[in-house]
Amino acid sequence: MKPLGKKQTKRKPKAKQACGLCGNTKHLTQTPCCNHWICDDLDQYELFSFAHTSCYRNHERYTLCSYHYCEDHEGTWQDCQDCREEFDTEIYVYQGTNEFNFEVLKNPPVYEPTHCKGCNRIIHLGDGGYTLASGDYFCMKCKPFPG
């Protein structure tokens, strides 16, 4: 029995860790770049599938956060001029604002959409499905190489 007269305080249960991208609570690890909890699922990615099913791989490959860390840049990725200069504006904005980020870039720069050199169709560089040849972008229909 507990002694009378002492105020009882309820302990809050420790918050269960969850992936900051998908909410999963099992098989987690922390990202080396920003120390957020994320699915430890890189081993389940099928090589050359280009699938976006791995939280860990998505954050590692498609964010400025991870790029900034891997390149050992100074300061924060959000303020990094080196990161800003190393990408076309469209890719920079995509990698700073996509759903694979824990924190998105505030006030991303405005850019003109990229057009296919062959047919002038808009190409979304963040989605893939284009070819870059001699500094020009081509959609998959107009790609200058066979195959």
pLDDT, one tens digit per residue, over 56-65 is 999 999 999 9
d(CA 144, CA 33): 38
pTM reported for the whole predicted model: 0.82
Q: How does DSSP classify residue 22?
A: T
Nearest to 63 by CA among 39, 96, 31: 96
What is the phi-psi region of residue 131: left when phi exceeds 0, alpha when psi lies from -120 to 50, beta otherwise? beta
pLDDT, one tens digit per residue, over 121-147 is 999 999 888 999 999 999 999 988 765
